[in-house]
């Protein structure tokens, strides 16, 4: 398990026992709906519940349909309205409503259902995945963490949300990749879950029980919070730095195991350098992450606004002069990006290639293993392939030939990249079916130009096939007796 959420424990009281019985009744009320167990759908405040989509320590999250707004919503329902949980639950709604920002999940309503006593919050539904789920998917499918551009854009949008919260005097206190949501439709990033948030400019929150002990999630809690100091915006900066470290490297700063021994490693010294784990990471990116993870809060970025400014500057340097953020809320773009299959046994070159293409609006899918890339082609459906020429198991030319034998990829455009600039080698590759050839060392601008041209070639070939199909259909309509021959029906089928 990656991490665990921590809250201070308190002795059970009589009211807890009563509320525990209420929670059990609430569980019975909620069980089975949307799964064939209930004949009537459960309705809360004009929201028809469809089914559970998430589970937290104090509340469950359910998908619902808002009958008045005519849109899907997320409904967070409190499990146990204890003297600790209920104020925290209501505070989450109040604090979220008090900050309006496009990168924060919005709250539409907070209420209690009179008959059942269920406390609930109706929130914006983000149809997509968390940043952690995105990382897991990337590691499982492509065997690498997120590209620098994607990780930085996710962090930038989150920092902007934190900047708005910090200006309102709110510290999140549980920033982590699980609490950063990414909408699949347009890549919009949303920070959620202000359940542990506090008003850092006040000594205490009115009407709330005081809590002692550590609050947050293992791996993302800053050293000063572990030492018992009060939370400030710098604690959120540390947590977002740990999140960015995870997205860039695939692990938390102090490594496995993710248990109580993690704290001992955290307090013993600095984490492993980002570039020690991923040498292709840009030096300025590594420095930014290291500053976020400084042991003393005064050595970090002061708050979300200062961090966002630094992230934007580094992102522009890493991604060139492109308009920021295909994944950002400000410039979300739902257009489909061309998929580029990249295969190179040199992981550093592959990382660089992926970052360059990602920054220019392509969707790179990268492999160091040519055999695995060939086995995955039907799943990833590339528009263009960029292949290293000399690889241990299969050469780039052999891989090209294998890819084109897969149904649907006979005309796949293939660009070879190689340090071999001998005319004979280039001529041989082109004679054996390679579409284009680019000599290393890699020139980013030239790579993008070549891939863009090959993408256009792919689009033209698709359009040509559509026209050819339409002409065949038109010809068949004019000569129905010869329709079989026109559409390519096998001779034996015609003679039968």
Helix pair angle (347-359, 148-167), 10° resolution: 60
Cα dihedral sign for 3, 7, 9, 13? negative
Helix (H) or strand (E) holding 28: helix 14-30
Biggest alpha carbon distance in the chain? Answer: 91
* Neighbouring-strand partners of residue 401: none
The pLDDT of residue 376 is above 50? yes
Domains and CATH numbers, the chain: 19-124 (3.30.200.20), 128-319 (1.10.510.10), 339-459 (3.40.50.2300)
User: Each residue of 239-265: pLDDT tens digit?
Assistant: 999 999 999 999 999 988 888 888 889
Query: What local confidence, expressed as pLDDT, does residue 400 receive?
Result: 94
> What amino acid positions are annotated as catalytic residues?
174
User: What's the mean pLDDT when you consider all of the chain?
Assistant: 79
DSSP secondary structure of 359-393: HTT-EEEEES-HHHHHHHHHHH--SEEEEES--SS
* Neighbouring-strand partners of residue 72: 65
User: Each residue of 290-307: pLDDT tens digit?
Assistant: 999 999 999 999 999 999
Query: What local confidence, expressed as pLDDT, does residue 211 receive?
Result: 38
Residue 373 to residue 175: CA distance in whole angstroms: 35
For 348-361, what is the mean pLDDT?
Answer: 84
Residue 269 to residue 241: CA distance in whole angstroms: 16
- 377 pLDDT band, cuts 50/70/90, is confident
Asked if residue 155 lies in contact with residue 244, where contact means CB atoms within 8 angstroms, the answer is: yes
Asked if residue 416 lies in contact with residue 437, where contact means CB atoms within 8 angstroms, the answer is: yes
User: Each residue of 115-134: pLDDT tens digit?
Assistant: 888 999 999 999 889 999 99
């Amino acid at each position: 398990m990656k991490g665990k959420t921590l809250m201070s424990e308190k002795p059970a009281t009589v009211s807890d026992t009563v509320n525990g019985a209420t929670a059990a009744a609430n569980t019975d009320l909620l069980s089975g709906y949307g799964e064939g167990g209930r004949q009537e759908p459960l309705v809360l405040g004009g929201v028809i519940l469809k089914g559970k989509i998430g589970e937290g320590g104090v509340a469950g999250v359910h998908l619902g349909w808002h009958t008045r707004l005519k849109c899907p919503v997320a409904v967070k329902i409190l499990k146990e309205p204890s003297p600790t949980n209920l104020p925290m639950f209501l505070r989450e709604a109040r604090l979220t409503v008090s900050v309006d920002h496009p990168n924060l999940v919005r709250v539409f309503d907070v209420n209690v259902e009179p008959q059942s006593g269920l406390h609930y919050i109706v929130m914006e539904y983000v149809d997509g995945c968390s940043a952690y789920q995105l990382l897991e998917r990337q590691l499982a499918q492509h065997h690498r963490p997120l590209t620098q551009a994607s990780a930085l854009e996710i962090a930038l949008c989150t920092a902007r949300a934190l900047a708005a919260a910090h200006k309102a005097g709110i510290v999140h206190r549980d920033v982590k990749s699980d609490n950063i949501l990414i909408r699949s439709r347009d890549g919009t990033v949303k920070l959620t879950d202000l359940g542990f948030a506090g008003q850092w400019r006040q000594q205490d929150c009115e009407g709330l029980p005081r809590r002692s002990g550590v609050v947050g999630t293992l791996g993302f809690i800053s050293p000063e919070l572990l030492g018992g100091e009060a939370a400030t915006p710098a604690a959120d900066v540390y947590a977002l730095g740990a999140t960015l470290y995870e997205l860039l490297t695939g692990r938390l700063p102090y490594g496995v195991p993710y248990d109580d021994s993690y704290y001992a490693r955290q307090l013993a010294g600095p984490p492993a350098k980002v570039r020690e784990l991923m040498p292709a990471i840009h030096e300025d990116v590594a420095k930014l992450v290291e500053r976020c993870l400084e042991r003393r809060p005064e050595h970090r970025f002061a708050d979300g606004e200062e961090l966002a400014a630094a992230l934007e500057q580094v992102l522009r340097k890493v991604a060139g002069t492109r308009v920021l953020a295909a994944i950002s809320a400000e410039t979300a773009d739902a257009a489909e990006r061309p998929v580029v299959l990249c295969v190179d046994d040199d992981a550093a070159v592959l990382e660089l290639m992926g970052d360059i293409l990602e920054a220019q609006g392509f969707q790179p899918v990268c492999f160091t293993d040519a055999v695995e890339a060939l086995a995955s082609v039907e799943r990833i459906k590339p528009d263009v392939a960029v292949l290293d020429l000399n690889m241990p198991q299969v050469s780039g030319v052999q891989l090209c030939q294998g890819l084109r034998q897969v149904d649907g990829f006979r005309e796949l455009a293939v660009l070879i990249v190689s340090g071999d600039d001998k005319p004979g080698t280039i001529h041989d590759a082109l004679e054996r079916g390679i579409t284009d050839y680019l000599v290393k060392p890699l020139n980013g601008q030239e790579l993008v130009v070549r891939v863009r041209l090959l993408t256009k070639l792919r689009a033209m070939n698709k359009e040509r096939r559509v026209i050819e199909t339409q002409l065949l259909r038109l010809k068949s309509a004019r000569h129905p007796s010869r329709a079989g021959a026109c559409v390519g029906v096998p001779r034996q089928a015609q003679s039968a």
